[in-house]
Structure 1
Amino acid sequence: MNSLNTDSLGRWLDTQDIAPGEPVEASYISGGTSNDIFAITRGDRRLVLRKPPEKVPPGRNETMLREYRVLNALNGTDVPHPEAVAVCDDTDVLGSCFYLMGYVDGWSPMSSDGWPEPFRSDLSLRPQLAYQLVEGIARLGNVDWRAQGLEGLGKPEGFHDRQVDRWLAHLAKFQFREIPGLDAAAAWLREHRPSHWEPGIIHGDYQFANVMFQHGTPARLAALVDFEMSTVGDPLLDLGWVLMGWPDADEDRTQKGYVDYTGMPDRADLLEHYAKVSGRDVSEMDYYVILARFKMAVVLEGGYARHVKGDGGNPKMAYYGKAVLDMAAQAAELAATTRL
């Protein structure tokens, strides 16, 4: 049952001077194997609470604190995000660490069946959704992370030197089958590390599922959300994450992913917009797309391995089996054909 001890939460909110003395109302928004999210109302304050599931996975409390640290560092920047309000590291309050963020008045591409109107019927409005998507990470990557107190969040030195070995070591913990193409992609990545790059904040799982848009037109980002995998490294990996499944101009755009890409810009247009906003060199983008596909194959294989073993709580993990093979094959194919 997804519920909160609102009495305990209320006492803690009093210590934070958040509408002290007012009754606390909590309603469940979403959650599952990752994190639980609740809408919180107290007096005239509308907040959102994010916490691990009731059975807290190892390391998840630390991840909560890390997420909040990133969110708090974005306060005062030009990156659209939920305002960081308060964080609690006392697990006696709700059984885990948690944090509160401001309520975002907007819509998520995951909250409706297809694009909402007018983006559903007017294809001329859709390109701005894509340009806003990449603009979010362009701005995120340009935040002065040292000035915002994120020194030590990640290890940018040697970031690309570690990627292949790190993810292969992670795969070794649960690998139970061969994944054709993964070794070829790994070998190519080792030989083609970027010659120059500038560290910045990485979201880590950047896609339409993890942004919110403002109501109305034209499309405008309301917030980047879910900083669970955020770190300091090479921000171009976030762009590779967006582009790794983006359809080519001649592909069927209606069945490419969980959103309808019909009317969306081509990859080249997105690259140009990102480069204009960020000022970063995108000439080696194939490397980042290959790395993103390589990493995604490993991440999804972890979920599929849990499903095969009978430990997976999400039935959708059954579909990861083919997705892993496709992603690894696509990584190897691009590695074999790119001109980098």
Structure 2
Amino acid sequence: MPALDRPRDVRPGDELDLDALSAWLGDALGVTERPVVHQYPSGFSNLTYLLDLGHREVVLRRPPHGAHVRGGHDMGREYGLLTALDGHVPVPEPLAYEPTGDVLGAPFYVMEHVPGVVLRTTAPPEARPDADAMRRVAGAFVETFARLHAVDVEAVGLADLGRPEGYVGRQVAGWERRYTAAATDVVPELERAFAWMQAHQPPESDATLVHNDFKYDNLVLDPGDLADVRAVLDWELATVGDPLMDLGSTLGYWVEATDRPALKAMALSPTWWPGNPTRAELVEAYEARTGREVEHAVFYTAYGFVKLAVIAQQIYQRWTLGTATDPRFEGLIHTVRACGETAARAIERDRISELHGG
């Protein structure tokens, strides 16, 4: 059985002003105890902390230091999404939002802490689910993904969250623009993949709620039944758009056993453990559950890998500039190259699985 997901000590440079935070918690939640703060070590984007208040635990989310990525790290937007989705899909209950940045130097919010298991690649072999359990988890993963894509966005008040028309083209152009702005090294495979995607864009398939970061380590699972998803986390990139582009983002995270080590180094989700489907099998399961035909799987997979490459590149650029000091970031350029290579191979071989075999 995997261990419960627990935080660690706060990393140097990521400390919170406890005096200011304590005063705010008193006003916002009526808390009198000074919080004991721990930090979740995984993830490469927003900073996430567990606040032990003695009688209860809550989670605080804030942007990373030195981040100036347009459209990302919007705490108010993320808090509003949780508020709208609470009761419709499994999400933590949002509790309070601080919009001004006066307390901690940036806006933040707190939500309920949902205890449970988060599957991570760092789990030792003896703590990993067996193949049968992993197959059940993968089934729950697809079921929850389909449930998310079935949310009535008008009924929950999120119809104006995004602009579905032209979504595919904007995503391709937007991620290419972000890459150009953040590039530090020449990656020819990535540039070829962007050029191919510009020339082979499919039309929008539908307009639904999309998470844009749907992967194992953003799910909290019931320790007694890993196929029971207690909560979906990290909604900062969610919008209304094409669900198959959302599937593409997930395929970029879905590393297979034969993929490059650099992809496994970036992946926080253990998708290559025994019992997991391949990328092609994941697409088939999604088609069977949703009734949507994924006709352009190579395009969506290439999109997922170039998007992951850009995210890694943006973080790596911050590391080269000295605005991000986490030592994990130093090797992300290898992930950028591996993602570009994998996207190019999917395009050249016209398939989405077993891309690094013979």
Q: Which bracket does the TM-score occupy, shorter chain normalised?
A: 0.7 to 0.9
Q: Equivalent residue for 2:250?
A: 242
Asked whether 1:130 is paired with 2:138, we answer yes
Amino acid in the other structure paired with 2:289: V
Q: Which runs of 5+ in 2 are unaligned?
A: 1-11, 353-358
Q: 1:219 to 1:289 in 2, by over 3 A?
A: same
CA distance in 1, matches of 2:160, 2:226: 38
CA distance in 1, matches of 2:197, 2:318: 27
Q: CA deviation at 1:207?
A: 1.9
List, as ranges, runs of 4+ consecutive aligned residues in structure 1 with deviation greater than 6 Å.
Answer: 59-62, 252-256
The 5 A counterparts of 1:218-233 are 218-233=226-241
Q: Equivalent residue for 1:178?
A: 186
Residues 40-82 of structure 1, C-alpha deviation per residue, up to 9 Å, x if partnerless? 35575432122235x46346996111111111121120x2221
Q: 1:116 to 1:230 in 2, by over 3 A?
A: farther
Q: Equivalent residue for 1:322?
A: 334
The 5 A counterparts of 1:37-52 are 37-42=48-53, 44-52=55-63
DSSP-derived class of the 1:271 partner: helix
Amino acid in the other structure paired with 1:332: A
Q: Equivalent residue for 2:205?
A: 197
Q: 1:115 to 1:224 in 2, by over 3 A?
A: farther
Q: 1:288 to 1:85 in 2, by over 3 A?
A: same
DSSP-derived class of the 1:303 partner: helix
In structure 2, which of residues 262, 272, 279 is the aligned counterpart of residue 267 of structure 1?
279
CA distance in 1, matches of 2:87, 2:256: 37
Kept in 2, the 8 Å contact 1:135–1:273? The answer is: no
Amino acid in the other structure paired with 1:292: G
DSSP-derived class of the 2:49 partner: strand
Residues 220-277 of structure 1, C-alpha deviation per residue, up to 9 Å, x if partnerless? 222111122222222222322332354568x489997252522222334322332333
Asked whether 1:101 is paired with 2:111, we answer yes
Amino acid in the other structure paired with 1:229: L
CA distance in 2, matches of 1:45, 1:193: 49
Q: Which runs of 5+ in 1 are unaligned?
A: none
Q: Equivalent residue for 1:289?
A: 301
Kept in 2, the 8 Å contact 1:91–1:97? The answer is: yes
Asked whether 1:215 is paired with 2:223, we answer yes
TM-score, normalized by length of structure 2?
Answer: 0.79
Amino acid in the other structure paired with 1:84: P
Kept in 1, the 8 Å contact 2:262–2:335? The answer is: no
DSSP-derived class of the 2:102 partner: helix
Asked whether 1:76 is paired with 2:87, we answer yes
DSSP-derived class of the 2:132 partner: helix
CA distance in 1, matches of 2:154, 2:238: 15
Asked whether 1:143 is paired with 2:155, we answer no
DSSP-derived class of the 2:188 partner: coil
Asked whether 1:313 is paired with 2:325, we answer yes
How large is the Cα RMSD of the aligned pairs? 3.2
Amino acid in the other structure paired with 2:113: Y
Q: Equivalent residue for 1:65?
A: 76
Residues 10-67 of structure 1, C-alpha deviation per residue, up to 9 Å, x if partnerless? 5544544x3x3643433223269743333335575432122235x4634699611111
Q: 1:61 to 1:13 in 2, by over 3 A?
A: farther
DSSP-derived class of the 1:181 partner: helix
CA distance in 1, matches of 2:231, 2:182: 35
Q: 1:41 to 1:312 in 2, by over 3 A?
A: closer
Identify the range of structure 1 (150-159 vs 106-115) with the bigger mean alpha-carbon deviation: 106-115
Kept in 2, the 8 Å contact 1:51–1:96? The answer is: yes
